[in-house]
Structure 1
Amino acid sequence: MRLRIRFIGEKESLILPIHHNEMLQSIIYRYLDTEFAEFLHNKGFKDPESGRYFKLFTFSRLLPKKVYLNHHENTMEFFFPITWIISSPLPEFIVSLYNNLIRKKVMELSYKNNVSKIYVSNIWIDSIPFYKNPTLVRTLSPITVYTTKNEGGKLYTHYYSPDDSEFSDLLISNLIKKFRALRDQSF
């Protein structure tokens, strides 16, 4: 399921650090029902075969009317309206987020002692798309594929490019693990 949120602000724009994904992720946890948010944040859903845990949600970058990048300040200025898309295969995730955003309608974001209020002007749940084989899709956030390796007692992370031969196999393997975690979900 996909939740689409449109924001407006007190001012014409919103200034955030270039690296603001953690800030966006914290908004999601803050606007979920408390018990569910704690479960997702601290644990998640377990793939019974690999033992890995997954959060089972993703979100887009902020999609503004226009954006300016300030390299000197390491900031981005997003001009309203701003759209944000959050996806999850978990209906309870989408419903919880939707209900809490509808009820509260306003968010406060702070950066460098500057608090900005942004308001939910529209929020809707997109219908589940129907795909035919094969289907070309465009992602709203980057796909990161990596493995963690141990060499000489030191762990390091190897990130794969879509051009790497292992990329597709690792991506499919990850999707299968998430499917198993979703199928065996218990919250």
Structure 2
Amino acid sequence: MQLVIHIELDEPLLLPVNYNHILQAVIYRSLDIIPGYAEFLHEGGFMRGQRQYKMFQFSQLKGEYRIENKKITFFSEVSFEVRSPEPLLIRLLGEGIWNKGVTFGNHVYTDVDLELYDYTVEERQLLIRMKSPVTVYATDLKSEKTWYFSPDEEPFCKMINDNFYRKYQAYYGMAPTSGIQLGICENSMPKKLVTRYKGTFITAWYGTYKLSGERKYLDFLYQTGLGAKNAQGFGMFEIL
């Protein structure tokens, strides 16, 4: 399911340019309409082995803005989208925002509009564009060094597929019967983004891609996101 949140700003919204952690906190606060639910997601969520998956994703803020001195200021109105395969999560988020508004820092914005959708992917081959950048990485346990892969590197698509397998198993308790394939579109150059999340640098990629697989698996990815760190604001795509 998908929830689009529109916020009328009664005063400009000033944020650091790397604001994903702030928007994530907005979501968790709104989910706490049922005591313990936000904590369940934040502390564990859906597990596969030692890996945790929150099963939601969110887009970047959309609206008129200005960037200056590593700060971004939004004017008039902003909107963002949250998706999840969990209907309860989307319902709680909508109720929490509708009842309490949206809090950024010490200011509460109460003039909100919500759009609820239940779009389902019906095709096995998609042309997609990233609404928030996609990232995959590997970490050496001994050195604790992390490598982020680019779409033109061989491990990239394999790691996208491996991540899909783990997320699907964590949510449904069973492995998918086939994988998914992701490829760069011809005449399309992925755009690199290096950002920070709570002090950690993350390399991610915008761009247009070809995505194929079983319909139900592509729909699962539409709700949960491609690649890693979906609940930190990475991996949301739109279908062209």
TM-score, with normalisation over the residues of structure 1? Answer: 0.85
Aligned-pair CA distance for 1:107 = 2.6
Secondary structure of residue in 1 paired with 2:97: helix
Once the two structures are TM-superposed, the CA of residue 133 in structure 1 deviates from its matched residue by 2.1
Cα deviations by residue, 1:38-88 (Å, 9 ceiling, x for unpaired)? 1110111112xx441111111001011x11111x2x100112221110111
In the alignment, structure 2 segments of 5+ residues that lack a partner are 175-240
Note if contact 1:9-1:117 (Cα within 8 Å) is conserved in structure 2.
no
> 2:152 is matched with which residue?
163
| Mapping of residues 123-134 of structure 1, within 5 Å | 123-134=114-125
Correspondence for 2:6: 6
Letter in 2 for 1:20: Y
Higher relative contact order (Cα pairs below 8 Å, separated by 6+ residues): 1
Answer yes or no: is the 8 Å Cα contact 2:4–2:80 preserved in 1: yes
- The residue that corresponds to 1:43 in the other structure is 44
Residue number in structure 2 paired with 1:28: 27
Q: Deviations over 1:79-117 (max 9, x none)?
A: 22211101111111111111111222x23322xxxx433
Q: Contact 2:8–2:76 at 8 Å: present in 1 too?
A: yes
Pairs within 5 Å for 1:131-170:
131-150=122-141, 153-170=142-159
Contact 2:45-2:54 within 8 A present in 1 as well: yes
Q: Secondary structure at the match of 2:125?
A: coil
Specify the alignment match of 1:109 in structure 2.
104
The alignment-based identity, stated in percent, is 30
Alignment length (residue pairs): 172
Give the CA deviation at 1:143.
0.9
The match for 1:62 is: 61
Partners of 1:120 and 1:177 in 2: CA distance: 39
Compute the TM-score of the two structures, normalised by the length of structure 2: 0.67
Instruction: Choose the corresponding residue for 1:76, options 56, 72, 78.
Output: 72
CA–CA distance in structure 1, aligned partners of residues 40 and 103 of structure 2:
24
Letter in 2 for 1:134: Q
Kindly state the Cα deviation for residue 120 of structure 1 after the two structures are TM-superposed.
4.2
Structure of greater Rg: 1
Q: List 4+ stretches of structure 1 deviating above 6 A.
A: none
Match of 1:90 in 2: 86
Helix, strand or coil at the partner of 1:15: strand
Q: Distance in 1 between matches of 2:65 and 2:35?
A: 33
